[in-house]
Structure 1
């Protein structure tokens, strides 16, 4: 009855077989074509349980899949249309590893309690061996292919790795520990073994990984408890590169890779040298798979993403020494890929990259004490400026750099900054914020406009851009100013757009202005009635944003130069350069990038292909942490998801034709977690919505969402932040949290009701610009408000609030808005403890069927009658039906419509049932249940179309299901 269409949760296992990538996502096996990334097959193997291992056979068309205590055999990998689950078994212990042995005739499994069992191909138990060390294992590896020489590597909770052989027994009939590998200082999370080289790799929660080398691996076949001292195992290297626990390790052809909780994958050589660091998943990495022949690495994370990497990506490093051992002061890259520099003694040089030769262009003695250099966006113009108003302009023509013009400004004042607006127009900043807009005309510099920066402590510009008739300027103190030609002072300004570290870069994209700051914040602006208005602010995890080109965000973090993905905010390339305070230049040409910088009094050049460093997404990632709220909407028959959670990111996604969730927009603005999202159509607008997101620190943000479609019917999303309501706490105040929101529109006025964890219901008036103004506060009891409902019934608006005391309270919305009365109409004790989810439907225009679910694991259906009497309302309870036992944990999701209802719970079950209301009596019947692999379920959202239900269950990920209503 439940048809699961897609699931986004932890990718707990990956395996490469020929040209196929097999992945375990929840209980589903997904099979992808490795080159095209097409999903070829999707099969539910373990309903409600996760897949932790996939092992294919070399000689037969069958694979082992295990997860928890479950194990299954699937066949026909060569013909996926006929893929079948041949066997499925529930064992008595947690499986840590499995392997085909004895020419793939038998199967070996090792369990969490340090026990090995060998099974026949029909899964008949052949024999069992127990290790003499009675302990709990966190990881284990079965090595070698035959029963006689099978070797077990057991990773214990007490930091040791135990080596033992199941067929070697002591007098007690148990397998003795042949040797212990001791060097870790934490739990062993993962072990990998390379039989060819005799290398063992282990990963631990001590944030390290160790590469062990078996020096005499030929002794492994004959070793037993009597000669175990002959086995020699040394530590090749111990590596520390992760900021948190290391969960996975994998031995490669010429190195090894580690991955863990800090979202990083690090590739090391066999001596422990760091070759490459990849930061892709923005959360824990749970699985790795490596293809030796194609040199491809795949990773799966807790954000539901699967990525493919080319681990053979290389970089070229060049160190250039200037003539006469001059010390370079500024460096730049030209269109020809030649490198220019000016030294501390004002010697202007160019390095011809093709000839690998450096030439002296000129010596500007008047620039010896002070000089700045700027390269135009076309990278064919170069400007040098000095302390006394000197300007030298050079132009590159046919790979030759020549002086175009020079001048000395009449005021002879120091030029603090120089900004190219295009290849003929530039802006300079001098003393006391005096700025001059200049143009090169007939090889002469002409000043066409003067501007003045408003007063600040460090009064000079750091970046500028021209946009239509506007010139936007960022200054040293983080302010951004909007000027127009013909007016000396700014039209408006965005004060403290960035921190006092300053604005580092301005650019235009899709008719928007983007600003980057050294505070790690990226902001987006539009011109509204000629005024520059900020519509979006995103805090990245990088500390110093410097430059944006195409989809590449250039930044610095501590001493490292970083190239990251602008859309997905993941690090693609990282290199130790000494920091962003030194002179540097970046050039990207069709994916091949050059980065020039000054270090140790030399010019340094890094070259690489960005395409080699960019991960290929087989599955796009979703939220990294728990999802607390999803609101689904339908536009032009396409399903859109608006979601938020503990990672503080608001995401807007769409379901494609294959039910894959595709990211359209994300923004990290919230100070704390997003608890609730409320969506409503804008009045008299098509495909335009207002969104309110709220949660931790009592913060509420309003958004304007507009969705259009291109010629291919692909949605184009514009989402603008309109209001950000946040009241800083006093020292004596406890932290408050918004638990739920309700939007109420009365007489074309928009009111927003917010239920708070301190027991108050706060009301805001929302204007046409979606800006919120506080209006009043309601209180009933000082218990946490968990849910709010706006019920329109019999031309009346009733606010229903629920709390942790199990009460349902009714309020007259009209009286509240008109401030005539702030006391509730009535309250009813429905649950023994808190109400965590709710839904309702209207019956006969005057009765309210309220469905509530709570922490007491009960589902309660309550029928109320709402009676207007003399301009007042009376609430009458007609019937009450309590259903216990359909869940065994807190019920977090509820949906009711017509004659059906749905619930979801922490116990990971989704229950479907029917209900009937007749003669004011409620009857309920269960139809079906579904065990979802989404852990820590926080709720469900449901949309009903003509013949089916579209169900989204969310928590630690999201699962999309459909239920055919015709079959009910």
Structure 2
């Protein structure tokens, strides 16, 4: 009678996540900092957080290939995250910092009792095998190998995008980049211009094949979720092999306590693969697969933020070897339109927004294929229908329609493409090809009439070509100003061109050190004295950042008397 009754447990769980680690189940749950981590026998561990009284999955981590049984996570005092699991019949301790196995002990597999303990002086692993208690113990020794320069990726870098710059007091501005590689991972890294050191902030390992294209939605403005006003926030789309697209929210802010002085939080938003519906089919082994898994995405076009009307969802355009231009919407990635107009592999795609005098917006798309053709589309209709399509439960594959205009720009495949809007409201479309040529055309968007598609027509005002601009494939091109063009090639030359009445004239050529150039990204920075400088980052078998002063603008042409 004198005992005090405690508060009763709730009758039902406050939050449940079904099938978080598949049919094999969850092996451990760990709380560290503000996050919750779970591991499972699916070879992944997940990072979660509690919002209100609901569990929210932020992202999925796959430590390494072959480690399909993860038992536990250990957070080391030096900030390293140790993943404990079983690879075949071996017990493995994997380091997230170095990306390598620290220990590999033959024990017979994971179906046994075991225990692991580590200290600065020694490490021990005990397990039961055939009824016997076995002990593995090793003294701490200095590593035999010293890492002079840590690698960013295990294979060549296929794409790069600049997220923005984070201002850190007492240091030079830190540029934040996202890189995608043939090693199936994407990396968010901070590159300091002062120390010339690239420090990885986060690794994205959701892709099952190479990451070949990246796109950022919207400007990298101030961060949210408690990251402060000095951070960056953007939506990232990544695409690549096996027709897979992933979408993330990136949140970067200053963190003086970390090695890079920048903290990055990654939230996985959505994913999509063309044959997801095929994998859900019953008795699929009895059917013939019509859409093979060999289709790949080679390029991602411009993304639109949800705040940009008339959209309710972010939208991204993709091009790939399935011979189609595709558009997908998030948060649930749903295909909203596609076209097989090119009838061959589509290598590049760029999207841009045109605003008419009355405020009406037209969404336009530019695609380039292996035959050297560049096609232009009006996708305003599919963009307006994106919300209704995203609400459908069954996959829909509507047609994109006929292109507004097709230009034969090159004699073979187009490996680089860029669209730049001029102050007059016209568009410069630059492209580079496998044959080393550079092509530039000036377009004007005008209201259509009669039989023009979607009430929009495009007129080519000017075309300029430079047949032998480079000695190899032109894999990077950017229009910096209406009179300046930057091109980069596999011949390891970065050339600055001036557009004038007589065509393209070379202003300067710089040799860079990255072999097998895959892509470049450019941006401009206004220095303290008002001087404008152009920066560019190049990727291939390595990463390199260059900058130079902007040349003076040419004087305006004299008026005719």
* Shorter-chain TM band: 0.7 to 0.9
Instruction: Show CA shifts across 1:448-504 (max 9, x none).
Output: 89xxxxxxxxxxxxxxxxxxxxxxxxxxxxxxxxxxx73343344333322433322
Aligned to 1:830: 409
Residue number among 610, 633, 650 corresponding to 2:163 in the alignment: 633
Q: For 1:810-821, what aligned pairs fall within 5 Å after superposition?
A: 810-818=376-384
Gaps of 5+ in 1: 1-445, 450-484
Contact 2:488 2:495 in 1 (8 A): no
Aligned to 1:856: 435
Contact 2:164 2:177 in 1 (8 A): no
Cα distance change on mapping 1:532 and 1:630 into 2, 3 Å: same
CA distance in 1, matches of 2:123, 2:6: 36
Residue number among 464, 471, 487 corresponding to 1:903 in the alignment: 487
Aligned to 1:498: 21
Instruction: Tell me the SS of whatever aligns to 1:500.
Output: helix
Aligned to 1:688: 233
Shift of 1:950: 2.2
Please say if 1:722 is aligned against 2:283: no
Instruction: Tell me the SS of whatever aligns to 1:782.
Output: coil
Q: For 1:599-678, what aligned pairs fall within 5 Å after superposition?
A: 599=129, 601-610=131-140, 612-613=142-143, 617-636=147-166, 637-656=173-192, 657-678=194-215
Residue number among 119, 129, 140 corresponding to 1:589 in the alignment: 119
Instruction: Tell me the SS of whatever aligns to 1:666.
Output: strand
CA distance in 1, matches of 2:41, 2:423: 60
Residue number among 45, 49, 62 corresponding to 1:526 in the alignment: 49
CA distance in 1, matches of 2:235, 2:296: 21
Shift of 1:967: 9.5
Quick check: which one's strand share is greater?
Answer: 1
Aligned to 1:732: 290
Shift of 1:641: 1.0
CA distance in 2, matches of 1:588, 1:674: 36
Residue number among 703, 706, 714 corresponding to 2:251 in the alignment: 706
Contact 2:247 2:269 in 1 (8 A): yes
Instruction: Tell me the SS of whatever aligns to 1:697.
Output: helix
Aligned to 2:515: 935
Instruction: Tell me the SS of whatever aligns to 2:142.
Output: helix
CA distance in 2, matches of 1:912, 1:704: 35
Aligned to 1:790: 351
Please say if 1:955 is aligned against 2:492: no
Cα distance change on mapping 1:880 and 1:966 into 2, 3 Å: closer
Shift of 1:640: 0.7
CA distance in 2, matches of 1:748, 1:591: 62
Instruction: Show CA shifts across 1:612-631 (max 9, x none).
Output: 35965432221111211100
Instruction: Tell me the SS of whatever aligns to 1:619.
Output: coil
Q: For 1:376-415, what aligned pairs fall within 5 Å after superposition?
A: none
CA distance in 2, matches of 1:645, 1:629: 7
CA distance in 2, matches of 1:771, 1:544: 29
CA distance in 2, matches of 1:566, 1:684: 30
Contact 1:740 1:755 in 2 (8 A): yes
CA distance in 2, matches of 1:566, 1:601: 33
Shift of 1:866: 2.2
Contact 2:217 2:304 in 1 (8 A): no
Instruction: Show CA shifts across 1:810-833 (max 9, x none).
Output: 222323434698332121111112
CA distance in 1, matches of 2:456, 2:380: 11
Aligned to 2:359: none
Aligned to 2:169: none
Cα distance change on mapping 1:727 and 1:810 into 2, 3 Å: closer
Q: For 1:305-344, what aligned pairs fall within 5 Å after superposition?
A: none
Residue number among 543, 546, 555 corresponding to 2:68 in the alignment: 543
Give the CA RMSD over aligned residues. Answer: 2.9
Instruction: Show CA shifts across 1:845-894 (max 9, x none).
Output: 23222111012221111122222245832222222221122322221111
Please say if 1:924 is aligned against 2:483: no
Contact 1:902 1:913 in 2 (8 A): yes
Aligned to 1:18: none
Aligned to 1:874: 457
Contact 2:89 2:107 in 1 (8 A): yes
Structure with max Cα Rg: 1
Contact 1:793 1:842 in 2 (8 A): no
Shift of 1:807: 1.6
Contact 1:913 1:924 in 2 (8 A): no
Instruction: Tell me the SS of whatever aligns to 2:242.
Output: coil
Give the TM-score normalised by the residue count of structure 2.
0.79
Contact 1:849 1:864 in 2 (8 A): yes
Gaps of 5+ in 2: 76-80, 167-172, 224-231, 279-287, 357-361, 386-398, 527-531, 554-561
Instruction: Show CA shifts across 1:234-285 (max 9, x none).
Output: xxxxxxxxxxxxxxxxxxxxxxxxxxxxxxxxxxxxxxxxxxxxxxxxxxxx
Please say if 1:487 is aligned against 2:10: yes
Aligned to 1:799: 365
CA distance in 2, matches of 1:585, 1:761: 53
Cα distance change on mapping 1:966 and 1:852 into 2, 3 Å: closer
Shift of 1:447: 12
Cα distance change on mapping 1:683 and 1:560 into 2, 3 Å: closer
CA distance in 2, matches of 1:596, 1:692: 44
